[in-house]
Amino acid sequence: MKFHGSICAIVTPFDARGALDLDGFGRLLDLHVAAGTGGVVVGGSTGESASIDETELVELLEFAITRVAGRLQVIAGCGAAATRNALRLMHAAHGAGAAAALVVTPYYLRPTQEGLYRHFALLADEGRLPLLLYNVPARTGCDLLPETVARLVGHGLVAGVKEARPEPERMQALLALRKPGFSVLSGDDPTAVRALLEGADGVISVIANVCPGPFRELVALAMAGRTAEALALDAQFAPLYRGTGLESNPIPAKWILHRLGLIEPVLRLPLVVLSESRRDEAEACVTLIRALQARHPVPVGNRAA
């Protein structure tokens, strides 16, 4: 299975009581199908994985798989601090019908590289799903090094890596490991175009939540090697890269989606709604998104009914 293009790390909508908002989730999924998004990660860190339980993850996955009806890949966020807990989530995601599992490095425990290798090797052998490794040291306090990734390439069902470190040297080291059946994906929106122009297979994105159609076009331009066009469009996205980082992810993304009329801005504690002092900048992002959507409309044949 190949993982490529614009993949959205989709938010998890909640209603005013804090319960899953499946109506809102359906609206978001329809938007991604219409926009040509290649896949969604359900229940990842942007989906508030730490605040949803296994039953809710399965409910979200089953709903998404039914809603998209094979028109995009549904990938399950299955990260956990303990290996056995990640394995249990992978088994649940397999039972729900997920196409793959995105598994972040174990957070808080700070394992060694040998511990990381054994963690992912066991999940690749016993998890029953294609496995996407996910490295985001700023969140986990743990860095999966390229030499450890190299040991995992070709092991079991390891299918790729999502790298969220922005340094070009890190992406170049991982790109050297690309081969059929192993995708290298950017996990850092502001540097994704650079990675794509250098040969990355795609990006698992936060910003795709709020501007899926134009962002999918940006990714396609970069993957096609249309450098000047990609860089010009990427420059237009710069305020959105800043805007989605105003506070901890997914606080700003949920506020922007709320202002776009798609979901309520509800998060589960300890996350709270976007601070009032940040809302003017978020509102400028909403204005920019509407302008980008007008300049890069969804093709008629893709539009949701």
Per-residue confidence band for 304, with pLDDT thresholds at 50, 70 and 90: very low
DSSP-derived secondary structure for the chain: ----EEEEE----B-TTSSB-HHHHHHHHHHHHHHT--EEEESSTTTTGGGS-HHHHHHHHHHHHHHHTTSSEEEEE---SSHHHHHHHHHHHHHHT-SEEEEEPPPSS---HHHHHHHHHHHHHHSSS-EEEEE-HHHHS----HHHHHHHTTSTTEEEEEE----HHHHHHHHTT-BTTBEEEE--GGGHHHHHHTT--EEEESGGGT-HHHHHHHHHHHHTT-HHHHHHHHHHHHHHHHHTTSSSTTHHHHHHHHHTTSS-----TT--PPPGGGHHHHHHHHHHHHHHHHHSPPPGGG---
Give the model's pLDDT for residue 148.
Answer: 98
Among residues 2, 108, 134, 179, the one annotated as catalytic is 134
Among residues 2, 117, 162, 179, the one annotated as catalytic is 162
- Mean pLDDT computed over every residue of the chain: 96
Give the model's pLDDT for residue 297.
Answer: 84
Q: Is 2 annotated as catalytic?
A: no
Give the model's pLDDT for residue 302.
Answer: 58
User: Of 218, 198, 77, which is closest to residue 136 (Cα–Cα)?
Assistant: 77
Q: Is 108 annotated as catalytic?
A: no
Give the model's pLDDT for residue 299.
Answer: 65
Give the model's pLDDT for residue 298.
Answer: 73
All structural domains of the chain: 5-302 (3.20.20.70)
Is residue 219 within 8 Å of 5, Cβ to Cβ?
A: yes
pLDDT one-digit tens code per residue, 69-88? 999 999 999 999 999 999 99
Give the model's pLDDT for residue 28.
Answer: 98
Angle CA 283–284–289, to nearest 5: 95
- Rounded-to-integer distance, Cα 120 and Cα 83, Å: 8
pLDDT at 305 over 50: no
Average confidence (pLDDT) over 239-262: 97
pLDDT one-digit tens code per residue, 122-162? 999 999 999 999 999 999 999 999 999 999 999 989 999 99
pLDDT one-digit tens code per residue, 181-196? 999 999 999 999 999 9
Angle CA 41–64–69, to nearest 5: 115
- Rounded-to-integer distance, Cα 138 and Cα 292, Å: 30
pLDDT at 303 over 80: no
pTM recorded for the entire structure: 0.96
